[in-house]
Each structure stands twice: as C-alpha cells, then as structure tokens.
Chain A
Amino acid sequence: MEHTLCFHCGLDATSANITFDNKPFCCNGCKTVYEIFSVNDLTCYYDLQEAPGATPKEVAGKYNFLENTKIVEQLLEFNSDDTQIVNLYIPHIHCSSCIWILENLNKLHTAVSGSIVNFGKKTVRITYNTQKTTLKELVILLSSIGYEPYISLEDYSVGKKKTDRSLIYKLGVAGFAFGNVMFLSFPEYFEVGEFWLEKYKHLFRWLMFAYSLPVVFFSAQDYFISAYKGLRSKILNIDVPIALGTAVLFIRSSIEIMLDTGSGFFDSLTGLIFFLLVGKFFQQKTYSFLSFERDYKSYFPIGITKLSAEGNEESIQVYDIKKGDRLLIRNEELIPVDCILIKGKARIDYSFVTGESKAVSKQSGDKLFAGGKQMDGNIEVDVLKSVEQSYLTQLWSNDVFQKDKESSFTTLTNRISKNFTITILLIALIATGYWLLNDSSKAINVFTAVLIIACPCAIALSAPFTFGNILRILGRNKFYLKNASVIEQLAKINTIIFDKTGTITSNKGASISYDGEVLSSSEEALLRSTLRGSNHPLSRSLYELLNDNDILTLDRYQEYIGKGIEAQFNNEHIRIGSAPFVGYELETGTLNTTVHVSTNNRYKGKFTFYNAYRKGLSQLFNILKKDYDLVILSGDNEGERENLTKLLPPKTKLLFNQKPEDKLEYIEYHQSEGANVLMIGDGLNDAGALAQSNVGIAISENVNVFSPACDAILDASKFNELASYLKISKSAIKIIKWSFVLSFIYNIIGLYFAVTGQLAPVVAAILMPLSSISIVVFTTICTNIIGRRLKHNKSDFGR
C-alpha cells in the first residue's frame, strides 16, 4: 500500500483518506488547522519546515477556569484597562515554522497586537486588547491551531518574576574597563621615556584607576562575598586567593600611582576579573527549556470545576478546594486532591506518579489519589483532603527537598585551593623574610608580587571551561545536566540504583505471550476486530500485536468497564477480558497482567503481558557491574523477579514492593555507609529518592514532557549509553587535574619573577592572559576529543 504522510503533522495519513486542496491529512483536526491557515494566507508555515504541526486536541471546557478573573490576574505579566500581556509556555514549539506562525498571530485575531517567541524557553509573549478578546479565547485559539499552552499551578503569580541579568552587567563592565585600561597602559609597555609620555602619564594612570574602580567594587564583588563567607565557615575556597589577589593588586597599584613609583597593574587586574567572569558565564549557560526544580506544582492545574449543591459549575482555584467539595473532573484532567469517586466511569492513568502507563479502572466509591489523570469521560468526586494534605504532595514536606545539594559538596577546585592558598602564603612569607634580611626596601614589593602572580586565574578557569564544554557535549547526546557540579558528583558514584517501571522497562510496547489453544484464523480476525473498538490500553497493545486481518463489521459489541468486551459476528461469539468474565475459574494466581479469551463459551487461552525491557539493558548492566554496585528498587510486585534474574548479572540486588519512602530510606542508609548513590527513576514516586541520592537522573521518553525534580534528565533512547556518559565524567576530572598541573607550571614561572623582586607590570600583563588562554585552549581541545570519541563509539554501536 502506498504511504502518504499528513501534510500538517507528518503522521501516517494512509488510512484516514482525507484530502483537501490536493493535500493528504491524517484527521479532521489537522485539516481544520490547514484551512484556518490557508484562509488567512499563512500557508508559509508549511514552506519553512515540512509537516511542522500538531493535531489540535479537544479542549471543550478545559479552560473554563480562565473565566475566573482572580486566576487570570495571577497569570498576567501586565494588566491595564484594555491591554494585557501574558507569557505562555507552549511545549510544541520546536522549529522555525512554530516561531513564524506564533509571531503572526495578529493575522489570525485582530485583538492580538504583538507576540514574541522565546525559542529557548518555548514561551510566547502575547500582547492583546481586552476589549476584543479574553485570555480564555486566546488560549482556545492557540489550542485550535495545535499550539496548546501548558498552564500549571507553577505559573501561579509567576508573571511578576524578574530575570537575573547581573552577571551580564558585571561581565559588560569588566570587559569595558579591561579594553580601555589596556588602551591607556599601552604606551607605558614600551617605556620609551619620551617627553610627552612623561608629561601625561599621571593623567593616564588616574584614568586607569577610575576605570578599575567599578571592576573591583561591582564586577568582582561576588568573589569578595564568597571568600568572606568561606572564611567565616572556615573553608579556604578558590575565591579566597582570587579575592586576596584582586585586593592586593588594587591596593598596590593605587599606592604606586599615588607615590609615583610605578604604573600599577590595572591592566592585569581588569583582565583577570574579565576572564574569570567569562568562565562563569560560559558555565552558567544551561538548558532554559528544561526545568530541574519541578515539584507537584508543575503537574497540577490551576483551576478546577466545583459543583455546587444545586449542580451549578464554578471554576475555583486549586488551593481553595476544601474537604467535602464536589468536583467535576473532565476527560484528560488531572486529579489535584485525594478524593472518592461518586459518579462516572473512572479510568485513571497514574503515570505521573508511578511511571506505570497502564490506566486503572475504578468503581464508584473507590478512593482516587492526587496525581492521577482521568482518561475516559467526565467524573464527579468528593474531596477527602486539601491539596497540601494529599498523599502525593505530602512527599514534598520531607526534608530532602529543602536541602541544597550543591552547597554541601566540596568541589575539586576548592579542595585544591585549600593547599594552594596555604602554599602561596608560605612562599610569600619566606620570600619577604629573605628580602627583609637582604634588601628591606624590596620586601613589601616581593610580598605583594607573590600574591598578585599567584592569583589562581588559570585554576579557577579550568573547571568552568571543562565542565561547560562537557555539559554541552552531553546535551548534544541527549543527556541534560542541571549544572556543572553534577559532572563531578557523577565521577564519584559507586552505587547505581534503578527504578523498574518506566526506567529499565519501556513504556512503549510490552511483550505479550499467548498460551492456550491455538486460535483459528476466523477467530483471530474476530478477536482483532473486537479489540479495534476498545480504547482500553491493554486492548490497544494487543491489537497492535496481532496480524493484519480483514476488519469485520461486528453484529453486536458490548464493553463492560473493569471486566472485558463481548462481541458477536454471524454465529461466532467472543469474550475478552478478566478470567471470571470469560468463565475461566482456574485462575493460577499469576502476578502478571493477563487477558483471557473465550469463543462460543469455550475457554481458549490467555495473553500474558510482560514488561518490555529497554534495548541493551543486560549489556549495560554487564558493563556497569565491573565498577559499580547495582540495585533495582521497584514499587511493583515480584512478578518480574524471575525474568530480571535471568536478564541481569547475578550480583544485582532486586528489591520489590518499595514505597516512595522506602526508596528514600534505602538510599539514606547506604549513604551513611559511605556509598555515593546514583538514582535513576522516572515517576513522581521516585522524587524523594532522586532528591536524596548524590545524583538523581530522571529518565524521560520525551524531554519536553514533565519529569520530577532531579539533577539530570536522560532521554530514554540513550539509556544504553549511560556507561559511556559516566566514563566521560571521569575523563573530565582527569582533564581538570592536568590543567591544574599546567597552571602550576605557569605559577612557578611567575613566582620566579616575583620572588626575585623583578615583576614588572608588563610581565604580569603577559603572563596572566597567556596562562588563562592556554588553559582554556587545552581544556577545549581535550573535551572535544572526548566528545568525538563518544560519537565514534556510537557509530560502532549501530553496526
């Protein structure tokens, strides 16, 4: 059969048979979007990128909470009489077409006066006229063209948040001063003793002094603050020698120009701060579209529909939900609180919470937990607990979420800096002592020169540039780290703990085995045709598995929620579902999910669903077992134990029936025994364990979808590369150690000049940038070699 792809979204459009304007579409939703665009002359959308769109989802009623002005006000960035500005997060933004269409929103709706996309953050900032439209209409318009914004509890009152640009300002000031000071100090480098130079050198020097003031007191203030904090808590961090060097440079230079004994070191001073800030800037750039700090707030909706006693619908804020309220949960909506099901068919997808993708059916009177997503029509529920007291949200009151992992960890740079600072101070004192005895006039010069030249610019730069580069290389390989210190932590890991469901198993396609009587081809056709009508996830995966058969038009079809399906075609009669439903009494008590089949009241057999493990799993475990202790902590029952022991190396520990708190405590216990734990999980039930572990990696099928708070996000397709990523983190540490060696060599050369009392400004001005730049070049080349090796490995893997 010929394959055609949807003109709008690029999905298979063969079976849908919808054409419009001679273009194929996979569904009416996509066709409608195309119609909207073509009527408004916006078909350029399709020229920029092939099939860029997304199928619009049904949103009726979903955004009713945007009628509540109190909620809307919290979302707006700017609000006046007739103009409002809102910043919306749209996960679908992924290509240039997206930018183009969203920035041309004013052609779709006259009320929109401007819209600006931030591609990195996947947000669009829309300015619109409130006389002509409302936020709700705007959101529905965006949804109707396939760009549904994601509005969660996290956005609440976020509209007023300020972005922190202080580093850019500091960098700008330092760069500006550095350039100008270099310019002014240039004549003195040549020391020609020329008449005009002699006459104007005071003016030049005082100008340099003026330029260096903002650098010392504004750009460099973070180093002084950090050094002060470090000293107060009795830690000699890397900022101590930097602050010391900067202070000595500034004071000695000022005294020199005041007493007219020399030109000072303003060029080195400003250059030093500029290079250090460049390193900081380089390291700071991370992935703005990913959020590593997510808690339940980013999953939860802002507003929810409350039903009053008279049956009226009212949108209220999630925080306003009280015990005993009656709520209406619509299709695809998230349940924000623990509650009891009163009315309707509930099929709850707890994948946010557990990582388990199979939906569970619930009967009226059953308890529903917060975090579940309703999949099948509307339901009514009675609230048992408020948002803060619900089972899922209580997990966040645990202390681990308050702890700042970064601050409790001493970095490699800081550990070296301790010995380094002490050594430098010793050298300075010894050299000063020597000169006091021989030529006391030079003593103070030597003392300051040692502190100036030893200012660990190169050391301070090697870590940011190495880690910054590694961060980027890993990011290109779909392993996104929260910040640079995660790399150092990764290198020290000795225990790896995996969650089972959703982490080492794949959500896509479970493996299914059939045992029982062989089905005849007519029975198989009937089975497939029956499954086709059902939306139950088990039916869907079973349907995908069966061979293509003619689709029969069934005479009778009946679905029994929570039990199974019954269907009839001519004289054939089939029942699919749970064991009692098909009339099979001898349930063997298996722990795995099963679907039983009977035809014409005769039991045929059962399909058993096994977890499908990720590709390369046992290979990965076999590589990892050499260097790490491996543990699997699963919240599930022991149904898969046998399967896992076969698949994984014998040393692997397997623990089942672990509740979220159990996982957290297990990690805590092992850390107290001295283990450095890497936790890999996916669902919100792992959130506590991810926070407690030294490094928590969230695995995600789609990085734009939500993952719990963690230190790193790993794309599921790269799961089998984990071992090589861990290896890279170790190589990064090696590179840094080598660059330390390199910068020590520079320091020894510099110290020779300083100790012998012949440190001229021009020597300092050459040595400092030279050492910094060569360190940057060294680390960049080394990390790129590592990155290339990673790509090389991958091509081997493919073969």
Chain B
Amino acid sequence: MSVIYILLAISIIVAVGFFIAFILAVKSGQFDDSYTPSVRMLFEDEIIKEKSNKSILTKKD
C-alpha cells in the first residue's frame, strides 16, 4: 500500500507546479490589468487585412 506515498508525492508535485505557475504569472504582471486583455483577444481577426502600401507615413507633408 506504499503506492499512497507515490500518489501523495505526485499530487504535491502537481499542486506545487501550479503554485509556481501562479507566482510566475503574478510576477510577470498578469494580474495588474484585468480589463485590457479581454478586449485585446478580440482583435486578432480584424488585423489580417492585406497590407498594400508599405510606405510609412507619420506626418502629412
């Protein structure tokens, strides 16, 4: 029945793994802004438009 030690070890490793993922996520600033990403994810589709003109125009001459 020592299989329970293996199971416990696995469960702890999995749990700690997720915990580390959480810490890293907080550290990278994922929780600082909870609104913008929800809008950003909807953009993808609209950007595919073919880029016809390569010239970069910053100011009207």
List chain A positions with a Cβ less than 8 A from chain B: 32, 35-36, 39-41, 44, 47-48, 96, 99-100, 103-104, 108-110, 116-121, 141, 144, 163, 165, 168-169, 172, 176, 180, 196, 199-200, 203, 207
Q: A119 contacts which chain B residues (CB < 8 A)?
A: 33, 35-36, 39
List chain B positions with a Cβ less than 8 A from chain A: 1, 4, 8, 12, 15, 18-19, 22-23, 26-27, 29, 31-36, 39-40, 42-43, 46-47, 49-53, 55-60
Q: A109 contacts which chain B residues (CB < 8 A)?
A: 56, 58
Closest B residue to A48 by CB, please name it. B46
Q: Contacts A119-B39, A196-B4, A199-B1 known; list 5 others, CB within 8 Å.
A: A41-B51, A47-B46, A99-B40, A165-B31, A176-B19
**Cα distance, A48 to B34, chains bound together (Å):** 20
Q: Are B26 and A168 in contact (CB under 8 A)?
A: yes
Q: B18 contacts which chain A residues (CB < 8 A)?
A: 176
Q: A108 contacts which chain B residues (CB < 8 A)?
A: 56, 58
Among the interface residues B12, B43, B51, which one has the most CB atoms of the partner chain A within 10 A? B43
Whether A203 touches B56, Cβ cut-off 8 Å, given contacts A96-B39, A118-B33, A119-B39, is no
**Least CB distance, B24 to chain A, in whole angstroms:** 11
Q: Are A36 and B32 in contact (CB under 8 A)?
A: no
Q: B12 contacts which chain A residues (CB < 8 A)?
A: 207
Q: B29 contacts which chain A residues (CB < 8 A)?
A: 163
Q: A44 contacts which chain B residues (CB < 8 A)?
A: 46-47, 49
**Least CB distance, A236 to chain B, in whole angstroms:** 34
Q: Are A203 and B58 in contact (CB under 8 A)?
A: no
Q: Are B58 and A141 in contact (CB under 8 A)?
A: yes
Main SS of chain B's interface residues? loop
* Between-chain CB contacts (< 8 Å), 23 pairs: A32-B60, A35-B60, A41-B53, A44-B46, A44-B49, A48-B46, A96-B39, A99-B43, A110-B56, A118-B32, A118-B33, A119-B35, A119-B39, A163-B32, A165-B26, A168-B31, A169-B23, A176-B19, A176-B22, A196-B4, A199-B1, A200-B4, A207-B12
Main SS of chain A's interface residues? helix
**Cα distance, A387 to B43, chains bound together (Å):** 46
**Cα distance, A488 to B8, chains bound together (Å):** 49
Q: Are B15 and A180 in contact (CB under 8 A)?
A: yes
Q: Are B40 and A103 in contact (CB under 8 A)?
A: yes
**Least CB distance, A184 to chain B, in whole angstroms:** 9
Q: B40 contacts which chain A residues (CB < 8 A)?
A: 99, 103, 117
**Cα distance, A119 to B37, chains bound together (Å):** 9
**Cross-interface CB contact of B15 among A118, A176, A200, cutoff 8 Å:** A176
**Least CB distance, B58 to chain A, in whole angstroms:** 6
**Cross-interface CB contact of A203 among B8, B23, B33, B36, cutoff 8 Å:** B8
**Cross-interface CB contact of B26 among A172, A200, A203, cutoff 8 Å:** A172
Q: Are B36 and A99 in contact (CB under 8 A)?
A: yes
Q: Are B60 and A36 in contact (CB under 8 A)?
A: yes
Q: Are A144 and B8 in contact (CB under 8 A)?
A: no
Closest B residue to A121 by CB, please name it. B33
**Least CB distance, A131 to chain B, in whole angstroms:** 16
**Cα distance, A241 to B53, chains bound together (Å):** 69
Q: A200 contacts which chain B residues (CB < 8 A)?
A: 4
**Cross-interface CB contact of A196 among B1, B19, B35, B53, cutoff 8 Å:** B1
Q: Are A39 and B57 in contact (CB under 8 A)?
A: yes
Among the interface residues B19, B51, B52, which one has the most CB atoms of the partner chain A within 10 A? B19
Closest B residue to A95 by CB, please name it. B39
**Cα distance, A109 to B43, chains bound together (Å):** 20
